[in-house]
Homo-oligomer: A and B are copies of this chain.
Amino acid sequence: MTSLDNIRFVLVGTTHPGNIGAAARAMKTMGLKNLHLVSPKIYPSAEATARASGADDILHQATVHDSLQSALADCHYAFGLSARLRHLPVPVINPREAVEQLEKFDDDTQIAIVFGREHSGLSNEELDCCQFLVNIPANPDYSSLNLAAAVQVVAYELRMSFKPEIDFGRIGEQREAITAEDLSHLYDHFERSLTTIGFLDPDNPRYLMRRIRRLFNRADLDRNEVQIMHGILRAAETKARNNNE
């Protein structure tokens, strides 16, 4: 499997320098750093730097080429983005399938993802330089993702594949696990308390306790929460008992 460092994003004939900056930002958020520009209309540009918003290191390292061939020279595979389906005999895949393809490549495989012009995309000649054609699924009535949005979607797919891990599960404060016995005590307490406050009729309990169990089994309580529930039940019992006396 190749790595994010072996993947370059190639922007061809970008018209608005702001989009180059926004693309750099989108790349950097996902941990990509290799940006290549083919004949950008205006570059460098203060607007690109402004829109990069802290990702200007990506811009500084970017290489400008005067042809797509030059940008792809040392790449093993190129994936070309295509806003709509074209009559070309290359496989058209979605970004997820593209990333699945990438995962099959060897460690040192150099990859290019090629994005076309804002309005006209990639020419047929440029698409001919690509082994894979990638289409981002979109609303057929309105498929105009802007350039930075397309870059963001592809970069996101790459990150999901290469580094999907975030800290899952319970984050932040420690949650102390409880045992089945703790839960069992809580349910016993519920049963006593609900009887005391007159909500549960021991002679006609129906399914109440079963429903309570299901609800709290599902809720995945921690120790602190179990203590809170005991506290609430005790407070209700105390008030009720004083009243019953």
CA–CA, A93 to B194, complex, Å? 36
Q: Measured between C-beta atoms, what is the minimum distance from A209 to chain B in Å?
A: 11
**Are A173 and B87 within 8 A (Cβ)?**
yes
**Are A31 and B173 within 8 A (Cβ)?**
no
Partner of A220 from B85, B159, B212, B218 at Cβ < 8 Å: B218
Residues of B within 8 A of A243 (CB): 239-240, 242-243
CA–CA, A28 to B149, complex, Å? 12
Which among A9-17, A72-80, A105-113, A224-232 touches the partner chain? A224-232
Q: Measured between C-beta atoms, what is the minimum distance from A164 to chain B in Å?
A: 6
A63 within 8 A of B: no
When C-beta atoms are compared, the residue in chain B nearest to A53 turns out to be B144
Residues of B within 8 A of A146 (CB): 22, 25, 53
Partner of A236 from B139, B152, B208, B240 at Cβ < 8 Å: B240
**Are B29 and A93 within 8 A (Cβ)?**
no
Residues of A169-190 contacting chain B, CB below 8 A = 169-173, 175
Residues of B within 8 A of A208 (CB): 228
**Are B159 and A156 within 8 A (Cβ)?**
no
A61 within 8 A of B: no
CA–CA, A29 to B145, complex, Å? 6
Residue of A148, A156, A171, A231 with highest tally of chain B CB at under 10 A: A156
Partner of A145 from B152, B167, B172, B242 at Cβ < 8 Å: B152
Residues of A49-67 contacting chain B, CB below 8 A = 53-55
Residues of B within 8 A of A219 (CB): 215-216, 218-219
**Are A89 and B153 within 8 A (Cβ)?**
no
Contact A211-B240, Cβ < 8 Å, known A94-B160, A159-B137, A172-B88: no
CA–CA, A109 to B164, complex, Å? 28
Task: Identify 9 new A-B residue pairs, CB closer than 8 A, beyond the known A86-B171, A197-B239.
Answer: A26-B149, A55-B142, A91-B170, A92-B169, A135-B166, A197-B235, A212-B228, A215-B225, A243-B243
CB-defined A-B contacts under 8 Å, sample of 26: A28-B142, A29-B144, A31-B138, A86-B171, A86-B172, A88-B171, A89-B173, A89-B175, A91-B168, A92-B168, A92-B169, A94-B160, A137-B163, A148-B149, A149-B149, A149-B152, A152-B153, A156-B156, A196-B239, A197-B235, A198-B238, A198-B239, A199-B235, A211-B225, A236-B236, A240-B243
